[in-house]
Chains A and B, each alone.
Chain A
Amino acid sequence: MKFDTPKFMPGGDHFILVQFGDDARIDLNFMALGLTAAIKSAEVTGVVDTNPSYNSLVVEYESDDISYADLQTELTHLIDGLGSVDNLELESRLAYLPVVYLDPWTRECVADYSEKIAQRKYDPDFVADVNGFDDAKQLVRVHSGTEHWVVAVCSTPGLPLMRALDPRCAITSPKYNPPRTWTTLGAIGVGGLSTSIYTTPGPGGYNLIGRTPVPLWDPRQRHPIFKDRVVLLDAADRVKFVPISEEEFDYTEARVADGSYEFNITGYQRFSVGAYKKWVASLNQGGRF
């Protein structure tokens, strides 16, 4: 549910948590991201960093420069200034990420898990079943048919936590239990209501449905795009997955390796929450890709 007024809670001595509600409705994320943008443009004294999530925002502050109480006042003031969530407009880039869906690497990863940890159905077939799709191909069509909203960049460096903007493309699935001990780098996973991309080859619990050759972070900043930023995506960006063949994957991977890969990101749009809601209301909820 959405709280009538946002809740403020201290997180130790130099964090404040602002919570807008306690569920995953997208409006709460819009508010969190709206506040993040407002804090940045107001250049609030004493704020060190911001960390938005599904329905909340953690603000790190320097207690010598601003007290908890003053910061809470400042944040309340900024929230009031945002007005209704429907009036929010957010800077939102759109990144086109190529993906091999139903790829051989995740097949291998799942097979390895089945052998060593617990038998499980091939993830894309499993997710297709759980969502009543005709087959894994329809899963691909639906997953790649919508833009995905980056709710937060978290867990591991550069990892985007995303949700489908087109409600007709909402996919749900239970996570691995127990989790995997390793995941292919670049794997696309779905779990709960979210999609994420594995930026480290570590453990994970999302169902694996594809793989992208495009790096989402680069601590050594080898590509020009990483000159001014360490991670590719920010919260409030959007991602559209573009299904590609294995040949195209190999081609792209080679260009990533030699540094000539061109990222495909457009940065000339503002996401309008009001327009988004109107569009959602106009959709025929029964119609599916």
Chain B
Amino acid sequence: MALSVEVIKAGLETSVQDFPGRYGFWEQGFPPSGPFDMWSFRLANVLVANGREAAGLECQFMGPTLRFLEDCVIAFTGAEMNPTLDGEVFPMWESVAVTAGQILACGFASIGARSYLAMSGGIDVPTVLGARATFHMAGVGGMEGHALKGGQSLSVGAGTGVPGRRVKQDCRPAITDNKEWQIEVVQGPNDDWISDDGIERFLTSEWKLQARSNRTGYRLEGPDWIFADKASAKGPEHGEHPSNILDHGYPVGSINLCGQTPIILVNDAPSAGGFINPFTVPSAAFWKLAQSKPNDIYRFRRVSVDEAQELRRSIDRLCVEESIA
């Protein structure tokens, strides 16, 4: 396969991802990885007529600078990174034909945090443990297990994309420069470890996203949690602190309470551990997490399992051809 794209500048933590990510190895400690804002990623693939499973690039905070060595149809979605093509403004949420020799450059995200670059034909890297998604901690998938580095070259498959397609405005996630978010949350699995007052406090407080947050975990700053009796009246094998529990699996999206530090477990998070998960962020809210920036404020809105599932379906219904004008 001819090498199609040269990485001039890698950007800040740009990685190859595929949807839905890595499955079947969770029990051996491999998280799903995959794109954080699945909604934007999937629409990028639809724009360039890629199959659902085609791999693309996830750009975080500042995207890469790439030189295309061959003609290609590409699309850039998600956060506003003010991309340019040979210095000219490059339109987001559209499929664009680039020709050999052209250079796509990105700046810092001015609105949102993560962007997605799909190339028609999909990025061709070996699948590792069933997926092309990058899990950097263990060094698997993507470009030799890690984020892009300057000087590397990407191979792209043969695609059937055509330029000039746009995602309808109301089919896109509403990424704005609003620094406050309402994040859906499902109560459980370990909500009974928190007192009623504690639950009330969680749902009515503001939670600040700490700077030390990334695809492994989103650390929140806020008031102390109040534990129910159950959190102390337990066997010693759970551990001393009220938030300690006998090791158990972590649903992806769990709000994992480590002592008094809640950490939302996202795409590259550990699969299990010994802290409680009183609430879980459902799939449909992941794009919001992905598009937030350090110091953004979260307020959590409780939804039922059924509501959360319906929200996810409604996003699924938008990641299709019908959303393209």
On whether A and B touch (CB less than 8 Å), the answer reads no
Which residues of chain B have a CB within 8 Å of any CB of chain A? none
Which residues of chain A have a CB within 8 Å of any CB of chain B? none
